[in-house]
């Protein structure tokens, strides 16, 4: 009977871990779609790597990203770049911000083999 309890507990733990991984993956995917559809990649790069003009966002701490987005959303901005960012984030919902921040803070650079040919204009075909 004791072995059965241990087996049941392990089963519950494994199911919980799998469910959490699925939730994390869904959150990451939603965040990625927000990043791409809102035009973030136009300035911050396709992999959120930044440039000499715009900061890297990939793998920044969640707390930092949330603080910056909240500053932009509040409209308390100091520079032209921050004013531009305020326009991009003003219409994001709380859930969209959470998804976007999750994506950026857990960013994984896709392998070339994972990118569909149609996104690369037929590259590799």
- Is residue 77 assigned to a domain? yes
Which of 2-11, 38-47, 75-84 has the least mean pLDDT? 2-11
- Is residue 99 assigned to a domain? yes
- Is residue 124 assigned to a domain? no
The pLDDT confidence band at residue 23, using thresholds 50, 70 and 90, is low
- Is residue 53 assigned to a domain? yes
Contact 65, 102 (CB under 8 A): no
Average pLDDT on 78-95 reads 90
- Is residue 119 assigned to a domain? no
Which of 6-10, 52-56, 71-75 has the least mean pLDDT? 6-10
Nearest-angstrom CA–CA distance, 26 and 31: 9
Average pLDDT on 76-85 reads 88
- Is residue 49 assigned to a domain? yes
3-state secondary structure 53-67: CCCCCCCCCHHHHHH
- Is residue 9 assigned to a domain? yes
Q: Domain range for residue 15? A: 2-110
User: What are the pLDDT digits (tens) for 97-122?
Assistant: 999 999 999 998 765 554 455 545 54
- pLDDT score of 18 more than 60: no
Please state the domain count of the chain: 1
Q: Which residue has the higher pLDDT, 57 or 13?
A: 57
- Is residue 120 assigned to a domain? no
Residue 77: give its domain's CATH number.
1.10.760.10
Contacting residues for 26 by C-beta, under 8 A, at least 6 apart: none
The pLDDT confidence band at residue 123, using thresholds 50, 70 and 90, is very low
Q: In this predicted structure, what is the pLDDT of residue 16?
A: 58
Q: In this predicted structure, what is the pLDDT of residue 37?
A: 93
């Amino acid at each position: 009977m004791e072995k059965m309890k241990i087996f049941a507990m392990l089963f519950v733990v494994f199911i919980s871990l799998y469910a959490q991984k699925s939730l994390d993956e869904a959150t990451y995917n939603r965040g990625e779609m927000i990043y791409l559809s809102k035009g973030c990649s136009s300035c911050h790069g396709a992999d959120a790597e930044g440039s000499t003009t715009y900061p890297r966002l990939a793998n920044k701490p969640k707390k930092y990203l949330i603080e910056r987005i909240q500053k932009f959303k509040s409209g308390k901005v100091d520079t032209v770049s921050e004013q531009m960012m305020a326009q991009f984030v003003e219409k994001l919902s709380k859930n969209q911000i959470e998804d976007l921040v999750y994506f950026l803070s857990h960013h994984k650079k896709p392998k070339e083999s994972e990118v569909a040919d149609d996104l690369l204009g037929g590259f590799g075909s």
